[in-house]
Structure 1
Amino acid sequence: MWKIKAWAKRLKQQIYVLYLSYKDERVPWYAKIFTACVVAYAFSPIDLIPDFIPILGYLDDVIIVPIGIMVALKMIPKEVISECDDKAKNMMKNGKPKNWVVGSLIILLWSIIMLWVILKAYQIFS
């Protein structure tokens, strides 16, 4: 049980590292785009596979997010990761950042996607 908690804590810290790395000018543009997508997905309250679906619901939390983090960390220069890792440790001690604008944009984006899916489904079935 302790291994799972330690793994989850490390995963959370790595998400903060990606969050901070995204803002660094030394990170290539393609890495910034991928990193932003991984962080947005990790912080998003809406999952690709809803959690209420047995077994598959937690698939994204256990497989998709860690793989995305691993790929994003490989794209970012080591010195940036090292600096951001120290900052992330401090952030975890002091509490996570609250950015209501970004949170609102994520919810708006997912709402637009869901509306588009509903409209397409309506067109297909009517």
Structure 2
Amino acid sequence: MFDKIKTWARSLKRQIFTLYFACKDERVPWHAKVFTACVVAYAFSPIDIIPDFIPILGYLDDVILVPLGVMIALKMIPKNVLADCEVKAEEMMKNGKPKNWIVGSLIVMIWVLIIIWLLYILIV
């Protein structure tokens, strides 16, 4: 059973990388790009709609929302584009994903600003 879960998670990760490359492809319609970009951003984001520390509910978005979004996005993208992007995704899975330090820094700055704002509200 644990092997099935690992295989499913690896497949989902590959699909997310496929969608990442599909977002950048000119052959994808704009509405599919927007939806796909939202799914990829949510999947890669450390910020969830339901925080993971909440028992049971915290992981529901990771188990339900992300796969559902991936499934819908994959249906919106032309098959020939998906085939090209799957090859790129497989190559990226072998080499490791790129790190985007700018986006990571931006997320950290947003959290710092939220904490400062909350402290300001509590103190004043």
RMSD (CA atoms): 2.1
Check 1:90–1:7 CA distance in 2 against 1; reply closer, same or farther (3 A cut).
same
Query: 2:21 corresponds to which residue?
Result: 20
Query: 2:72 corresponds to which residue?
Result: 71
Distance 2:49 2:78 in 1: 29
TM-score by length of 1: 0.83
Distance 1:45 1:86 in 2: 26
1:53-93, CA deviations, whole angstroms, 9 ceiling, x for partnerless residues? Answer: 11110000000000000000111000010111011011000
Check 1:104–1:37 CA distance in 2 against 1; reply closer, same or farther (3 A cut).
farther
Distance 1:43 1:66 in 2: 13
Query: 2:91 corresponds to which residue?
Result: 90
- Structure 1: segments with no counterpart, 5+ residues: none
TM-score by length of 2: 0.84
* 1:34 and 2:46 correspond: no
Aligned pairs for 1:29-68 (under 5 A) are 29-68=30-69
Identical columns (%): 70
The alignment of Structure 1 onto Structure 2 pairs a total of residues equal to 116
